Amino acid sequence: EDPEAFRQTLPFYRVRLLYTGVLYAMSKTGLDPIFCSHAISAISVFLTLWVFAHMFKGVPPYPYWLCIPLLTLGLGFYEMARYSSPDALGAFVWSVTFLLFLRHRTSMLAMFPILVLVRTDYLPLICLMFLYILITRRYEWKLVALSSIVTAILFLSLQSHTYNWEVLMHYMSHPN
């Protein structure tokens, strides 16, 4: 509705490489880009709920599945499915990350670079998870180091093409 506001937000999407890549690939098949952006959100929300339904091993599925509608209403998942933003894709990638974490899979370490590709502002939570992993010695330190180095390189290379830290922190602290 506001072309100038849209133009001003475009630099933020340069660092959301995975989201814009999926959007680009879908639009290359002939689909409308606006439809693609909404489809990514809707599919991501559906997949996130599917991951939540299978998150805990050994839990009887039916009572747990009854809680999912309440969870979706309480957390606003239906709103995420309506908007065309990378938030739903981020929720899906985070849910996969936590699923792998709960199941003690080493492949969870590969999710951190993917999270940076979805949104670079996930870095503070990623750093907290790295700290927890290092303190608890949950995984081999060489794999943790490799994952952290790849994550840092991706983050720094993506940030070098958009905003500096000062501008990014200003936008994160003043969202309106």
pLDDT at 102: 85
For each of the chain's 176 residues, which pLDDT tens digit applies? 666 666 666 656 666 778 878 888 888 898 887 788 888 888 888 888 788 777 766 666 666 666 666 666 666 666 666 677 788 888 899 999 999 998 888 999 999 999 988 888 888 899 899 999 989 888 888 998 999 999 988 888 877 665 555 555 555 555 54
Q: How far apart are CA 29 and CA 13, in angstroms?
A: 21
Q: What percent helix, strand, coil does the chain show, rounded to 5?
A: 80, 0, 20
Which tens digits make up the pLDDT trace of 14-62?
A: 667 788 788 888 888 988 877 888 888 888 888 887 887 777 666 666 6
Which residues touch 115 (CB under 8 Å, ≥6 apart)?
90, 93, 94, 97, 122, 126, 151
Q: How far apart are CA 48 and CA 61, in angstroms?
A: 16
Rounded alpha-carbon distances, angstroms, from residue 84 to 21, 35, 149: 14, 9, 31
pLDDT at 43: 87
Write the DSSP symbol of residue 83: S
pLDDT at 160: 67
